[in-house]
Amino acid sequence: MDSSITGNLAASAMKIQRKLRGVSKSSSYTNLDPSKIPLHVGIIPDGNRRYSRLANLSYRIAYNVGYENLRNIMKELLRIGVKYLSVYAMSLDNCTKRSSEELETLHDLIIKGVEELSKDEDIIENQIRVIFFGNLLLLPENINARIIELENSTRDRSGGILSIALCYSTLWEIDIDKKGTERPVSYRLLPPIDLVIRTGGQKRLSDFFPVNARYAELYFSEKPWPAFSIEDLHRAIQWFQSVQRNFGK
């Protein structure tokens, strides 16, 4: 995509996100219990296309707003002490069934995300390792190369892990694990997910790290992802802190 177009999309997305943050800052938060912060949070940021329809925006702008929102949420999770964050960026079906125009937008955002994560001060300061899970061979070669570079540059960090699912399928991952692979496998590297947050109104995991999430508490929000605020995040964690977890007992 032309750099001037990308810049305009980013500017529009940031402008919308500033408005959303302004609404959130004007709201009061209930204090979170620091002794009950989930170690590992999973996010299924669904509803970007629905948001584009509701807000009368192009899907390109909607995806960019969603991307900016993910950065805001990620930084807030780091601030409150979450050590592991897993994000369902793209499923295997997303990578094989979406239109070429939509995939172009998503690929542009992946490149942007990788570049920004490589120099993000919060990621560096908190010594966060970045790992991607999924069939990365379905992505363009230039994206694959940047992903590998980011993974290698953060490999020795021990402060926590940001895991991003791209072209991900559990059955595919189990298959490559059986065959042996140099690629990381989620259920061998990550601790169990404590809380899964899914936006957009759907109430299912949709193949989101089901092995890691087998005892996770599931929080569903009707809001499309770009409209999911910091206050909504706090509300989800407050709900998690109120749940009696039995782990199958």
**Spatial distance between the Cα atoms of 219 and 152, rounded to a whole number of angstroms:** 33
Among the listed residues 122, 147, 151, the one whose alpha carbon sits nearest the alpha carbon of residue 137: 147
Q: Which amino acid is at 188?
A: R
The torsion angle over the Cα atoms of residues 18, 19, 22 and 23, rounded to 10 degrees, is -140
**Spatial distance between the Cα atoms of 138 and 30, rounded to a whole number of angstroms:** 43
Catalytic residue among 48, 64, 69, 94: 94
Q: Which residues contact 182 (CB under 8 A, 6 or more apart)?
A: none
Q: Count Cβ atoms below 10 Å from residue 128 Cβ, excluding itself.
A: 22
Catalytic residue among 46, 120, 194, 232: 46
**Spatial distance between the Cα atoms of 110 and 108, rounded to a whole number of angstroms:** 5
69 is catalytic: no
- The arrangement of strands across the sheet holding 84-88 comes to 128-133, 160-165, 84-88, 40-44, 195-198, 217-220
**Spatial distance between the Cα atoms of 228 and 41, rounded to a whole number of angstroms:** 15
144 is catalytic: no
Q: Which residues are catalytic?
A: 46, 94
